[in-house]
């Protein structure tokens, strides 16, 4: 099994970060890596996930949403090739920080007989894509939080 991980601290509440992550329809406006997710964020639902990595054409895969724990975790699984040969599980996890805000974790586990061979070529590109997406999520969440705070201050 291979694993790719990335995390970032975000100065926004878990509920706001969760709302952004589960608003699949808005991904094309802010997410440079996951360009689209078709489907609803409910356990067991089928998803169509379109990824765009630097220097490559977008690619879409069929996935199944395997775990949803609002507002903390979302996972989906993709099977490529025949069962047992190559599969990935993508995970978003939101951890509240004691001083406020959250730490967003993005992980992909790659399993199967071809995992080590296929993962080597993907690892650096996926680490870069995770980094770029995480920073875009941080910027969006902090911008929305600031806008909500400004609106609340103006009505007080």
- pLDDT over threshold 80, residue 125: yes
Instruction: Please report the pLDDT score of residue 3 as a whole number.
Output: 86
Q: Do the domain assignments include residue 153?
A: no
Q: Do the domain assignments include residue 56?
A: yes
- pLDDT over threshold 90, residue 69: yes
Q: Do the domain assignments include residue 137?
A: yes
- Total domains in the chain come to 1
Q: pTM value?
A: 0.89
Instruction: Dig out the tokens for 53 from the structure.
Output: 């990595």
Instruction: Please report the pLDDT score of residue 123 as a whole number.
Output: 78
Instruction: Dig out the tokens for 19 from the structure.
Output: 């709302």
Name which residue leads in pLDDT, 53 or 106. Answer: 106
Q: How far is CA 88 from the centre of its chain?
A: 13
What CATH code is carried by the domain that includes residue 19? 3.30.530.20
* CA proximity to 130, closest of 63, 65, 55, 51: 51
Residue 152: its H or E element: helix 115-155
* CA proximity to 2, closest of 88, 67, 84: 88
Instruction: Please report the pLDDT score of residue 150 as a whole number.
Output: 83
Structural domain containing residue 99: 2-148
Per DSSP, the three-state class of 10 is strand
- pLDDT over threshold 70, residue 83: no
pLDDT exceeding 70 applies to what percent of the chain?
87
Q: Do the domain assignments include residue 154?
A: no
Mean pLDDT of 60-66: 93
Find where tokens 């949803």 sit.
68
* CA proximity to 38, closest of 58, 18, 63: 63
């Amino acid at each position: 099994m291979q694993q790719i991980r990335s995390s970032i601290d975000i100065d926004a509440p878990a509920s706001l970060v969760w709302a952004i992550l589960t608003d699949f329809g808005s991904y094309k406006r802010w997410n440079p890596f996951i360009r689209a997710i078709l489907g609803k964020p409910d356990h067991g639902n089928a998803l169509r996930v379109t990824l765009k990595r630097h220097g490559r054409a977008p690619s879409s895969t069929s996935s199944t949403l395997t775990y949803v724990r609002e507002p903390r975790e979302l996972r989906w699984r993709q099977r490529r090739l025949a069962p047992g040969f190559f599969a990935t599980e993508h995970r978003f996890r939101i951890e509240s920080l004691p001083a406020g805000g959250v730490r967003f974790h993005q992980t992909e586990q790659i399993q199967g007989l071809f995992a080590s061979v296929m993962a080597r070529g993907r690892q650096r590109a996926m680490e870069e894509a995770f980094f770029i997406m995480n920073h875009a999520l941080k910027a969006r969440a902090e911008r929305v939080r600031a806008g909500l705070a400004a609106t609340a201050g103006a009505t007080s």
